[in-house]
Amino acid sequence: MTLPRFDQIRPKIEAHIREVKDFPKKGINFRDIMPLFTNPQLVNELCVVIADHVRHTVGHVDSVAGLEARGFLFGPQVAIQLGVPFVPIRKKGKLPGATIEASYQKEYGEDIVAIQEGAVKSGDIVFLIDDLLATGGTLRAAANLIQKAGGKVGEAFVLIELAPLNGRAKLPDVKLTTLISYDSA
């Protein structure tokens, strides 16, 4: 389900996404969201719209979890709108104290994401947020991490989906909402 407000804000967000050809390597068309942050009112409006979406489609959530690093740009603001804690999902070794970890395969090996123990409690419903869905590995690991901690992913949200990379296929058990989908990677 898409709320009408997503349809209203989508063109404004798209106008602030810059395509950078051949970055970070030749043949890649990078979608740069940083120009969006030149318009703080639009960023705030986006976070309000996302929070409204959560209220209407997920209902109650216990926390918002954002993936390092760009999920940190939206996640805390959405969490504030919802009045719930923000849970940072970081690379292994970046969080102090005891952590819960989940691994995932990258193009050239394995990587590990982590949350602090106690950040997600048994039975918690968590809203996951990130900027981009490409191959789906990181978002899959984040969902596994929430489940390993005893929580349930109420929904995952990404600003941009690169549809040809079929990352959605790695998340058959996760309700996923995308604001903008590109047909070319």
Domains contained in the chain, CATH given? 4-182 (3.40.50.2020)
Tell me the H-state helices in the chain. Answer: 4-14, 40-53, 71-82, 137-148
Which residues belong to the active site? 70, 107
d(CA 130, CA 71) in angstroms, rounded, equals 4
More confident residue, 109 or 42: 42
Instruction: Report pTM.
Output: 0.94
Segment 114-131, tens digit of pLDDT: 999 999 999 999 999 999
Segment 84-110, tens digit of pLDDT: 999 999 999 999 999 999 999 876 789
User: Are the C-beta atoms of 82 and 55 separated by less than 8 Å?
Assistant: yes
